[in-house]
Amino acid sequence: MSRVWKFSDDVNTDEIIPGRFNLTINPKELAKNVFCEVRPEFSKNVKTGDVIIAGSNFGCGSSREHAPVAIKGSGVKCVIAKSYARIFFRNAINIGLPVLECDIDAKQGDEIEVDLKTGKIIINNDEYKAEPLPEFILKIVEAGGIVNYLKNHDIEELQ
């Protein structure tokens, strides 16, 4: 069983990981400061397998890939948001952080079950179904990110 970390709308990449910490590309190092300004307790209390639930436009702002890397490095299993900023969405897929689109009613600390394959989400006895990812994106996610995909495939095979 995973726990919910609840965030609001328009969470930006400066809030996920401020620019001054982007000196490293080490996921564990970045995770030490993830959400440090808006949720200082996050990095101390987050447990492997926890889930972030957010509103619309999650990950807006700069193109820094440090943002999804920092979240993945913290052990978060997946992010479920009403919608994402486009670069963050692409970055998350590319580095292998699962991102689902779904409007979920949840509170901080709720227990949640997420099936990444089917998109089925159970929370407080309510069942939700996340928007399925397009087929070519699933190919990247299933390979564990674009880098792993391209080790064995050509980019044209995505189409």
Partner 1 sequence: MGTIIEEIFSKKLGRKVKAGEIVICDIDYIMSHDNTTPLAIKAFSEIGKLILNKNKIVIHFDHAYPAPNIIVANNHKKIRDFINVQGLKNFFRKGVCHQVMIEEGFVTPGSVIIGGDSHSNTYGAFTALGAGFGSTEIGVSWITGKTWFKVPQTIHIILSGSLQKGVYAKDVMLHIAKILTMNGATYKSVEFSGEFIDNLPMHERIIFPNMSTEIGAKCGLIKTDQTTINYLKNQTNAKGPFEIIVPINPIYEREIEINVSKLDPQVACHPKVDIVKPISELNNIQIDEVFIGTCTNGRYEDLEIVASILKGKRVSENTRVIITPASKRIYDKCLENGLIKIFNESGCIVTGFGCGACIGRHGGILADNENAFTTMNRNFTGRMGSPKAKIFLGSPAAAAATALAGKITDPRIIVGEIDE
Q: Which amino acid is at 79?
A: V
3-state class of 86 per DSSP?
helix
Instruction: Name which position in 8, 45, 63, 124 contacts partner 1 (CB under 8 A).
Output: 63
12 touches partner 1 by CB under 8 A: yes
Q: Please state the closest distance from residue 3 (CB atom) to partner 1, in A.
A: 25
Please name the residues in contact with 138: beta carbons below 8 A apart, sequence gap of 6 or more: none
- Is-contact 34 42, C-beta < 8 A? yes
144 touches partner 1 by CB under 8 A: no
Instruction: Return the structure tokens found at 117.
Output: 């394959």
Instruction: Name which position in 39, 72, 77, 90 contacts partner 1 (CB under 8 A).
Output: 90
Measured distance CA(28)–CA(24) in Å, rounded = 10
The residue ranges that bind partner 1 (CB under 8 A) are 9-10, 12, 14-15, 18-20, 22-25, 37-38, 56-57, 60-66, 68-69, 83-87, 90-91, 94-95, 134, 136, 145-147, 150-151, 154-156, 158-159
